[in-house]
Amino acid sequence: MTGKRRTAFIRAALVLLWIGLGVLLFTVYRGHALLVDNRNTDEGIRAPDLITVSVDGGKGLEFFRGDRDRFAVTGSRHRIRIEFSDGRAPFEREFSLPIRDDMYLLSVPKMLNELPFVEVFHTAPETRAPGDEELPSGEMPVP
């Protein structure tokens, strides 16, 4: 191999290495918002009265029936721990989140009943009518 070919080969290998490292870091450290929901389901499943939920070994949060709270998680593999106030044994489960979306909704009652429990959560865009905006006093709306 001549010197120019070897230099070009090394440069191409370094570019591929940097691209591969970027893809690896993106998939491992991808952040998500996980909404944990302790509400009764449409299928008629009743939510637990009072539970403590921790995700990935983090701080546990108390949930009453009807509560929903947000956890910030990174990566695709996660572990949830649910402790019950009525003396039942704690419930632990591992789950994974796809990379593509930013926010997911996890239903505790569905998880406890072995139903599909994670779904993509989309926020609804805020709609405004043209006359809803407040104008500074004395200004007339532009037609």
pLDDT in tens, 64-88: 999 999 999 988 889 999 999 988 9
Domains and CATH numbers, the chain: 31-120 (2.60.40)
Dihedral of alpha carbons 54, 55, 61, 66, sign: negative
Instruction: Indicate whether 143 pLDDT > 60.
Output: no
> Tokens at residue 99, please?
């990379």
pLDDT of residue 138: 57
pLDDT band at 26 (very low <50, low <70, confident <90, very high): confident
Check residue 112 and give its pLDDT. Answer: 93
Nearest alpha carbon to residue 80 among 42, 112, 41, 45: 112
**Residue 135 confidence (pLDDT):** 53
pLDDT band for position 20 (50/70/90)? very high
What is the distance between the alpha carbons of residues 121 and 103, in angstroms, rounded to a whole number?
5
Its pTM stands at 0.71
